[in-house]
Amino acid sequence: MEDFKDICFQVIELVRDTSELVLKESEEGKNLGLEMKGKHDYVTRVDKAAEEKLVEGLSVLIPDSGFIAEEGTSTRKGDRYNWVIDPIDGTTNFIHGLFPFAISVALMEGDEVVIGVVYEFGLKECFYAWKGSDAFLNEKIINVSQVKKVSDSLIATGFPYTNFKYLDEFFNSMKYFMENSHGLRRLGSAATDIVYVACGRFEGFYEYGLNAWDVAAACFILDRAGGRSSDFSGSDNYLFGGEIVSSNSEVFEEFQQSVNKLMTV
C-alpha cells in the first residue's frame, strides 16, 4: 500500500517545478516549435519538454509505474500503477498567451484513480486530492456548490476542435443551456473547467472528443469535492469513452439527462 498523501505532495512539488519550466520557456520568447498533430490539434516544444520532466520525476516516485501521456514521451505500461498526464491542457490558449491552461497529473492503481493534481497557470492555483482525502485548492478544502437546478447553474463546455461529427447536436445543446441556465462559458481547458466545478465556480461541464489525460485528475478531484461524472448516457465510461458530464451532485441527474437527450444521435 503506497502512501498516497505523501506521493501527492511530491507530485505537487514536481508539477510546480514543471510550471516554472513552462513559464520560463514561454517568457523568453523563443520559438515554441509549433507542430500540428491534426486539424486544430497542436503541440509545442514546451509541451514535450514539460512532459519529459514530468515522466522523469514521476518515474522516480514509483519506479515500476507506466504512463498514459498526451505527447507519447513514454508509452511504458505499469502492471499496477499508471500516471495519466497532460503537460499543458489548453495548448491553443498557451500558444496565444491566453489563460487558462494547466498541468494535469493523475495516478491510477488498476482502473481506479488514486491521486489527482491540476495546476492552473493564470491564477497559480493548485487543485489536488488523494484516495480518501478531501479536495484542496492551495491547501484549503473545497466543495462543489449546492445549487439544485440547471436553471440556477453556470455551465461550462468545450468546443469541438478535431471531431465535428456532432456539431448540430452540440449547437442545439449550447442554445438550450444559454436559454435555460445562468449562462454558458468556454474556457479552453477541460481540466480547469472540471476543477472549477469542484470548487463551486461552475455547476456543470460537458464535452465530447476528450481523452483520459484531459479529465482523469480533475474528475477525481471533483469526486472528492462531492461532485459526480459520467459519460453522456450516465454510465462510468468517461475516462476513455470520449465524452463527459461533470457537475455537483444536486443538479447531476437533471444535467446529465439534458445533455444525453441533446447530444445523443
DSSP string computed for 248-263: ETTTHHHHHHHHHHHH
Q: Give the pLDDT band of residue 25 (cuts 50, 70, 90).
A: confident
Which domains are delineated in the chain? 4-142 (3.30.540.10), 150-263 (3.40.190.80)
Q: How does the average pLDDT of the chain come out, rounded?
A: 91
- Given a contact cutoff of 8 angstroms between Cβ atoms, the answer to whether 95 and 35 are in contact is no
- CB within 8 Å of 2: residues ≥ 6 apart: 62, 81, 109, 114
With CA atoms as reference, report the closest residue to 148 among 184, 174, 181: 181
pTM: 0.93
- CB within 8 Å of 221: residues ≥ 6 apart: 116, 118, 127, 128, 129, 135, 194, 195, 198
CA distance linking residue 26 with residue 86, whole number of Å:
17
Per-residue pLDDT for 40 more than 60? no
153-211 residue pLDDT tens: 999 999 887 777 888 999 999 999 999 999 999 999 999 999 999 999 999 999 999 99
54-109 residue pLDDT tens: 999 999 999 999 999 876 667 789 899 999 999 999 988 998 889 999 999 999 99
CA distance linking residue 133 with residue 152, whole number of Å:
29
103-151 residue pLDDT tens: 999 999 999 999 999 999 999 999 999 999 999 999 999 999 999 999 9
Say which DSSP state 165 is in: T
Q: Give the pLDDT band of residue 48 (cuts 50, 70, 90).
A: confident
The reported pLDDT for the residue numbered 168 is: 92
